[in-house]
Amino acid sequence: MKRHKPSSRQADFRVYLGSTLFFIFILFSTPIVGILILSCAPLPFALRYRIADIWINQVIFMLKVCCGLSYEVEGLENLPQDRAAIILSKHQSAWETIALRQFISPQTAVLKKSLLQIPFGGWALATLKPIAIDRQNQKEALKMLIEQGSERLQEGLFVLIFPEGTRVAPGAHAKFNAGGAMLAQKTGFPVIPLAHNAGEFWPRNSFLKYPGVIKVRIGPAITTVDKKSKDINAETEAWIHQAMDQISGH
């Protein structure tokens, strides 16, 4: 894992106040939207998805109002318009687990199975067709990723995967897991690489959110037909690392 010295940020009164107000919003809104989505469990998936989208839009709005944090996106034209794709994204923060749905939709994501046990929010998430895996059983996790990922892609859902497996601090690189590339190899769906610097503003495991503009860069589609998974992974990893260096200025 390669490390660089992260940028230092000063937390002033506004940062503490805004982060507290945002936390209060999340604390009270999550059970409400969770109950609403659960009550719609017998109804079509599209309705539950729409309810979740409305909440996510509110979260992003409150993040801007309370914390002064927004984002800008480059490369939206690289997203396929006529088919789904596999999104292999940098993972630095909790931000990307929420915000990417605003411009990559409809989507599902690969996540830890334990997240579905969280009251209200996790229970509601379980109704939104997530690909929930048990990281302790890697063989079974890979099998579920391939099987359920293939089904979701055929249904027209983008599949969001964080190949690093966990949130990595700004300036650091972790080895990419092969699961996303293997899904691409077996299905033939293209890979879309995605880089961002959300961790510089919403650090991992941090209560504080700092004002600024998160930069998101979406790369050109990587064709996967007749390619080995290791080559797909290497091409994706190289693009993301290069984009991260440009975004973060390292």
What is the model's pLDDT at position 2?
A: 41
Is residue 56 in a domain?
no
DSSP-based three-state secondary structure for 80: coil
Is residue 36 in a domain?
no
3-state SS track over 189-226: CCEEEEEECHHHCCCCCCCCCCCEEEEEEECCCECCCC
**Residue 6 pLDDT more than 60?**
no
Helix (H) or strand (E) holding 28: helix 13-39
Domain count across the chain: 1
Phi, psi angle pair for 89, to nearest 5°: -115, 145
Is residue 93 in a domain?
yes
Taking all residues of the chain, what is their mean pLDDT, rounded to a whole number?
A: 93
131-133 sheet: strands from edge to edge: 69-74, 212-218, 191-196, 86-89, 158-161, 107-112, 131-133
What is the model's pLDDT at position 119?
A: 95
Helix (H) or strand (E) holding 15: helix 13-39
CB 111 within 8 A of CB 134: no
The enclosing domain of 153 has a CATH number of 3.40.1130.10
What is the model's pLDDT at position 249?
A: 58
Highest mean pLDDT among 13-22, 127-136, 138-147: 13-22
Instruction: Label residue 36 by pLDDT band (50, 70, 90).
Output: very high
CB 181 within 8 A of CB 213: no
Is residue 8 in a domain?
no
Percent of the chain with pLDDT over 90: 88
Is residue 203 in a domain?
yes
- From CA 248, how far away is CA 144, in angstroms rounded? 34
What is the model's pLDDT at position 7?
A: 44
Percent of the chain with pLDDT over 70: 96
Q: Is 194 left (phi over 0), alpha (psi -120 to 50) or beta?
A: beta
Is residue 126 in a domain?
yes
> Cα angle vertex 187, ends 182, 192, to 5°?
70
Chain segment 148-184, per-residue pLDDT in tens: 999 999 999 999 999 998 999 998 888 899 999 999 9
Is residue 167 in a domain?
yes
Give me the domain span that covers residue 222.
69-248
**Residue 241 pLDDT more than 60?**
yes
What is the model's pLDDT at position 129?
A: 96
Taking residues 212-228, what's their average pLDDT? Answer: 96
| Residue of 242, 213, 226 lying closest to 73 (CA atoms) | 213
Taking residues 103-118, what's their average pLDDT? Answer: 94
How many other CB atoms sit within 10 Å of the CB of residue 1?
9
Taking residues 218-236, what's their average pLDDT? Answer: 95
Taking residues 43-47, what's their average pLDDT? Answer: 97
